[in-house]
Chain A
Amino acid sequence: MLSSTILGYITFAYFASFILYLLMMVMGRDFLGRLATYVTFAGLTIQTFAIILRWVESYRLGIGHAPLSNLYESLIFFAWTIIFLYMIIELRTKTRTLGAFVTPLAFLALAYASFSPGMETHIQPLIPALKSNWLIAHVITCFFGYAAFGLSLALSIMYLIKRLENDQSKSIFLKLIPRPGILDELNYQMVIIGFLMLALGIITGAVWAHSAWGSYWTWDPKETWSLITWLVYASVIHSRMVRGWKGKKISILCIIGFCCVLFTYFGVNYLAGLHSYAK
């Protein structure tokens, strides 16, 4: 499939942007940062086309459906949403340092999709239960949520690294990371976007489950883990808005939150359940 070949190459593009962002931060050279932005943007554009191409290919095979139906396609979309959100933030905040912490996530997702043995990269026909527009809405909202939480993870790690800086430190790397206050604020915005998207994801998932299986909530492990993730981020929001927690505590909670996201996404496959990704 042409689309999977292209997507394989984009893995390297995002790896290149990661190296460029990193070099920019180590050497403090502006032009490396600009180059990194161009490479990332090119990667995103081509990836967008590859995803559309995959969609077209599925129609040519006579089993047309949105490319969001198995683990492979979801990883591709996950990488796409991360880079997409990151590009928006880079444009709006005009800081590139976040790139060095975010691009590895997209790179790893794509590398896992394209190069892990046993990954089903072919376009498969949809079984009846998966034929639902609610399911498409479910996947899109969930993955935007996951991507926002991924950015929140990157910002939390940056925050903790930035704290290592003191008056004596001469590291360009540390100096280039934005002020803790900015990181904290941006992190909080990501948590809110992620929380809203995850809520929408859980709701659309419930609507789908209700029409496919007859009940909107069955305490299936994947459902339960997404609820756990949601509860963790709900406590992040409450600790911050009501109890005024900031900075380090919030960063640590966000890192725990992202571990829950990862478990919801991958770990659950080792438990039994309805969600058939990766089975």
Chain B
Amino acid sequence: MPKSSTEKSQNLIWGLFSSVRLTIVLLIILAITSILGTIIPQQDDAISLAKQLNPGLFRLFQSLDLFDMYHSIWFRLLIGFLALNLVICSIDRFPNALRRFRAVPKPDRSKPFEHLPSEQAFLTEASLKEASATVARFLRSRYKNLHHKETQETSYFLGEKGRFSHFGVYLVHLSVLIILIGALLGSFFGFEAYVNILEGERIDAVALRKGGGPLKLGFEVACDKFTVDFYENGAPREYRSELRFFIEGKEAEKADLLVNHPFQFKGITFYQSSYGTVPGNKVSLRIAGPGLGPKGETMGVEADKPYDLPGGEGQFSVRDIRGDIMDLGPAILISVQPSDGKETHFWVFQNWEIVKKRLPPPMAKSTKFNPSAFKPYTFFLDGVKTKYYTGLQVNKDPGVPMVWLGCFAMVLGFLMTFFMSHRKTWVQVSEKRDEIKISVAGTANKDQVGLKRHLERLTNDLRNRLDERGK
């Protein structure tokens, strides 16, 4: 019969996934496989190792996804099994916990009082009625949940605390699931990207980390200013980007971005992550020539603006500014337009004396690289004003609140599981042979040492209360 065979296989699967042995095995397998990923370089770092491996091994690693194992199918499957294990175990066992939680307590049980240590009982001179009333008043102040039963010669009390501790474990396990769901949300609906913004510029798109073209943000971000500030020993003290956010061209918000102080705009979070410099559009230029003094004349020059030559022979302008050309350092392209004659172009290097020696001889002699190409002047580049760009990490992760919620639930669950116990405390006030005896007993699902201390203290408190009665 097909039905029974599917039932049987269902039971087999259920049996497997409801076993805590599987949990332990999975936890250990996850621990061991995770080690692999810390030894084998992952993702971008993997290339250096990949080059050293022989092709067979490389193919093996590749097919097992060992170069990006935390995102591989088999690793996710392991985590999936763990989650399934967790769910099935909980379904399997939760009813038991619920039963323990709901168990109707009986105030008149006698079993807890077997082998009662002598510290947990005493005699009092009060009458049964008086003693019962005092004990009841005292216990009521201690326990919200006090059960009471009365017979001819005995009053029974039962106080309970920490019933909810039965659920601690389930909260912890639920929290693991919540965290996993949060992580999944992030990987499906979030992204990780980056962008560099030049001081004074605006961007409206960012580049995804895993490739695949620019991503439009739907708004614009401008960096007004970037500052970096150093300690005396040269270590960085603070990076700060002054950002402005625009929606449809209108300024919507302003924020200073610092490391450890990300800023969120429209569900997208910006993090200060790096910085760099690019040449700006201003240079400091020196022109030497007849009548210009021994050092020449220094002037600040902006790109693409015409300036008069010192002797009025015409005009010149800076056409291009490069932070680095052919590893030879900063250089600018100068164009001279004499009032009569042909326009000339030539590059002026900042480190010309050094560059001259390093250029191949034909190039060194070419007018294209000669700072004295326009007679009678020689141009010198004293410096290029650089501009900062700020490097931002741009992320969206809608799973984050879920993950934090899971973390919170986990800690709460821990505390419930390990530091709370379900304690039941029985107190009997009984009359035997004209004596009133008060005895205290209890049970707890854990921390027996703490229970004993609690019972002894309670006995003492009761004795003191009865001694004080009427005073």
Interface residues of A, Cβ cutoff 8 Å to B: 63, 124-125, 127-129, 131-132, 192, 195-196, 199-200, 203, 206-208, 210-217, 219, 221, 224-225, 227-228, 231-232, 234-235, 238-239, 242-243, 260, 268, 271-272
Contact status B403-A216, CB under 8 Å:
yes
Judged by a CB distance under 8 angstroms, whether B233 is at the interface is yes
Set of chain B residues within 8 Å of A228, measured between Cβ atoms: 31, 34-35
6 cross-chain pairs, A with B, having the tightest CB-CB distances, nearest first: A128-B259, A221-B38, A231-B31, A214-B393, A214-B271, A242-B20
Give chain B nearest CB distance to A37 CB in angstroms: 23
Set of chain A residues within 8 Å of B91, measured between Cβ atoms: none
> How far is it, in angstroms, between the C-alpha of A260 and the C-alpha of B34 when the chains are bound?
12
Judged by a CB distance under 8 angstroms, whether B28 is at the interface is yes
* CB-based nearest B residue for A227: B34
Set of chain A residues within 8 Å of B31, measured between Cβ atoms: 228, 231-232, 235, 260
Set of chain A residues within 8 Å of B415, measured between Cβ atoms: 196
> How far is it, in angstroms, between the C-alpha of A243 and the C-alpha of B21 when the chains are bound?
8
Contact status A214-B20, CB under 8 Å:
no
Contact status A213-B45, CB under 8 Å:
no
Q: A214-B395, A215-B395, A243-B24 are in contact. Are A132 and B39 (CB under 8 A)?
A: no
Set of chain B residues within 8 Å of A208, measured between Cβ atoms: 260
Set of chain A residues within 8 Å of B21, measured between Cβ atoms: 243
Interface centre among B23, B27, B38, B272, by most chain A C-beta atoms within 10 angstroms, is: B38
Q: A63-B231, A125-B235, A129-B259 are in contact. Are A213 and B273 (CB under 8 A)?
A: yes
Set of chain A residues within 8 Å of B101, measured between Cβ atoms: none
Q: A63-B231, A272-B41 are in contact. Are A211 and B261 (CB under 8 A)?
A: yes
> How far is it, in angstroms, between the C-alpha of A41 and the C-alpha of B311 when the chains are bound?
86
> How far is it, in angstroms, between the C-alpha of A207 and the C-alpha of B407 when the chains are bound?
10
**Of residues 247 to 276 in B, which have CB atoms within 8 Å of A's CB atoms?**
258-262, 269, 271-273
> How far is it, in angstroms, between the C-alpha of A56 and the C-alpha of B21 when the chains are bound?
52
Partner of B37, one of A131, A200, A219: A219
> How far is it, in angstroms, between the C-alpha of A249 and the C-alpha of B397 when the chains are bound?
42
Contact status B24-A239, CB under 8 Å:
yes
Can you list 27 A-B pairs, Cβ within 8 angstroms, ordered by A? Answer: A124-B233, A127-B236, A128-B239, A131-B259, A196-B411, A200-B411, A203-B407, A203-B410, A206-B403, A207-B404, A208-B260, A211-B261, A214-B192, A214-B269, A215-B192, A219-B70, A221-B38, A231-B28, A235-B27, A235-B28, A235-B31, A238-B20, A243-B20, A243-B24, A268-B38, A271-B39, A272-B41
Q: A238-B20, A239-B24, A272-B45 are in contact. Are A217 and B183 (CB under 8 A)?
A: yes
> How far is it, in angstroms, between the C-alpha of A261 and the C-alpha of B35 when the chains are bound?
13
Per-residue contact bits, chain B 352-386, to A (CB 8 Å; 1 contact, 0 not) = 00000000000000000000000000000000000
Partner of B418, one of A63, A196, A213, A224: A196
Judged by a CB distance under 8 angstroms, whether B119 is at the interface is no
Contact status B414-A199, CB under 8 Å:
yes
**Of residues 172 to 228 in B, which have CB atoms within 8 Å of A's CB atoms?**
183, 192
Q: A211-B261, A211-B262, A227-B34 are in contact. Are A238 and B183 (CB under 8 A)?
A: no
> How far is it, in angstroms, between the C-alpha of A216 and the C-alpha of B20 when the chains are bound?
29
Task: Please give 6 more A-B residue pairs, beta carbons under 8 A apart, in addition to A131-B259, A213-B271.
Answer: A125-B231, A211-B260, A224-B38, A228-B31, A231-B28, A268-B38
> How far is it, in angstroms, between the C-alpha of A192 and the C-alpha of B447 when the chains are bound?
13
> How far is it, in angstroms, between the C-alpha of A206 and the C-alpha of B407 when the chains are bound?
10
Judged by a CB distance under 8 angstroms, whether B30 is at the interface is yes
Set of chain A residues within 8 Å of B259, measured between Cβ atoms: 128-129, 131, 212
Contact status A231-B30, CB under 8 Å:
yes
Judged by a CB distance under 8 angstroms, whether B444 is at the interface is no
Set of chain A residues within 8 Å of B287, measured between Cβ atoms: none
> How far is it, in angstroms, between the C-alpha of A219 and the C-alpha of B38 when the chains are bound?
8
Judged by a CB distance under 8 angstroms, whether B153 is at the interface is no
